[in-house]
Amino acid sequence: MCMLEDPRDASTLPETLSFAEVLDAPFALEEPEGPALAGTPYAVVRRVGQGGMGEVYEAEHRALGRRAAVKVLHQRHVDRPDLAARLRGEARLLGRLRHPNLVDVFDLGVTADGRPWFAMPLLFGRDLREELARSGCLTPERAASLVGQALAGLGAAHAAGLVHRDIKLENLFLEHDGTVKVLDFGIAKATSGGGAFRTDPATSPGTPRTMAPEQCAREPVDSRTDLYAVGLCLYELLAGRGPFDDARGSADALRFAHARREPAPPSAFARRPIPAALDRVVLTALAKSPADRFQSAAEMAGALAASVAPLPAVPLAPSRRSPAASFVALSAAALALVALVLTLVTSLAAR
């Protein structure tokens, strides 16, 4: 998890150097955490995150002084060519995609000890797991807005023929300006040709807690597999827990739950009211059969936005009365008012 301070915080910005100083001082930064990026053009400033495969550093380009985030294969995986290939694959996939809800990758290389790394813009904010821990359950509107952005990024990846396969709150990053970025395409796969592919049992990618029924059963996965995982993220943001958290102690029980158990709607656990339409969106995303889910990220995003939209104001029907009819109605109302006043006055006088 990562929490970065305000990007304008002076302590995180490089000092302004003259052109001559820039040329003379290309190795200005220390590497406080060892030679994690040795052999790259970057010097470590600090570590800002890590996951199963890599570490992510805030780093400074030694010659340009430009700050970036550098993701590098973890040192413990130095002898894992399969993971090295995944990290390189992630960089190449992202390098080809351009979308406001995805990160741009602008450099790729190998460290002195043979680990691949890539550079991307440094994001300021925190992942949605951390956001949930800090704010507690989100309002339906906020959850829908953040997840809607994730769906936009995911839709772009799907359109390029990719399935992410590891959508979870830790891989959705909320920037200080409110933008959500979908991170970590480390186990993404191209759905070349047929649009679906079979998960390789040997590598068993994904996280049991967020695996769709077809992933658990090692059946072909496609973009609708990601939509199941998005449904789980939305569930957690609304309810503060997943639908099958009672089975979290055992990977087998979790797999069984995803494959067979019907989830209760998020409103069963949420502390604030959830619109019925939003419950339906979540349950549709979590349908066991991909055919019963939303068929695209755009379709899900549309249903999600509509489920929290305020009801449209009902326009008043235009009056069809003729001016003469209106005059008669008005006169009758005035006469009724006069009669009421007279009755009141007479009853008062009688006392």
- Number of residues this chain uses to bind ligand ADP (CB under 6 A): 23
Other beta carbons within 10 angstroms of residue 238's beta carbon come to 27
When the beta carbons of 168 and 293 are compared against ligand ADP, the nearer one is: 168
Gap between the Cα atoms of 151 and 295, Å rounded: 12
Q: To the nearest whole angstrom, how small is the minimum distance from the Cβ of residue 168 to Mg ion?
A: 8
Stretch that binds ligand ADP, among 46-54, 133-141, 151-159, 217-225 (CB under 6 A): 46-54
When the beta carbons of 92 and 260 are compared against ligand ADP, the nearer one is: 92
Give exposure, 67-92, as e/b (b: 16+ Cβ within 10 Å): bbbbbbbbeebeeeeebbebbbbbbe
Helix runs in the chain, H state only: 19-24, 81-96, 128-135, 140-159, 213-216, 223-239, 251-260, 276-285, 297-308, 323-350
Site string for ligand ADP, 177-216 (x = CB under 6 A): ------xx-x------------------------------
- Identify whether the C-beta of residue 232 lies closer than 8 Å to the C-beta of residue 215: no
Q: To the nearest whole angstrom, how small is the minimum distance from the Cβ of residue 124 to ligand ADP?
A: 7
DSSP secondary structure string for all residues of 203-221: T--S-GGG--HHHHTT-EE
Geometric angle at alpha carbon 188, from 182 and 190, rounded to 5°:
125
Distance of CA 26 to the CA centre of its chain: 37
When the beta carbons of 90 and 184 are compared against Mg ion, the nearer one is: 184
| Residue 2 binds to ligand ADP (criterion: CB under 6 A) | yes
Give exposure, 248-270, as e/b (b: 16+ Cβ within 10 Å): eeeeeebbebbeeeebebbbebb
Q: To the nearest whole angstrom, how small is the minimum distance from the Cβ of residue 206 to Mg ion?
A: 12
Site string for ligand ADP, 5-44 (x = CB under 6 A): ----------------------------------------
| Residue 205 binds to Mg ion (criterion: CB under 5 A) | no
Stretch that binds ligand ADP, among 50-58, 132-140, 286-294, 323-331 (CB under 6 A): 50-58
Pick from 127, 131, 184, 214: which binds Mg ion (CB under 5 A)? Answer: 184
Gap between the Cα atoms of 110 and 38, Å rounded: 9
When the beta carbons of 94 and 156 are compared against ligand ADP, the nearer one is: 94
CB under 5 to 8 A by kind: which of Mg ion, ligand ADP, none does 265 bind?
none
CB under 5 to 8 A by kind: which of ligand ADP, Mg ion, none does 214 bind?
none
Supply 22's token pair.
């820039």
Q: To the nearest whole angstrom, how small is the minimum distance from the Cβ of residue 129 to Mg ion?
A: 10
Of 282, 285, 286, whose CA–CA distance to 261 is shortest? 286
Enumerate the active-site residues. Answer: 166
| Binding to ligand ADP, residues 100-159 (CB under 6 A) | 103, 120, 122-123, 127
When the beta carbons of 147 and 287 are compared against ligand ADP, the nearer one is: 147
- Identify whether the C-beta of residue 254 lies closer than 8 Å to the C-beta of residue 208: yes
Q: What are phi and psi of 130, to 5 degrees?
A: -65, -40
When the beta carbons of 94 and 282 are compared against ligand ADP, the nearer one is: 94
**Residue whose token pair is 């990007």:** 7
Pick from 14, 35, 51, 121: which binds Mg ion (CB under 5 A)? Answer: 51
Q: Would you tell me which residues interact with ligand ADP (CB under 6 A)?
A: 1-2, 48-54, 56, 69, 71, 103, 120, 122-123, 127, 170-171, 173, 183-184, 186
Q: Would you tell me which residues interact with Mg ion (CB under 5 A)?
A: 51, 171, 184
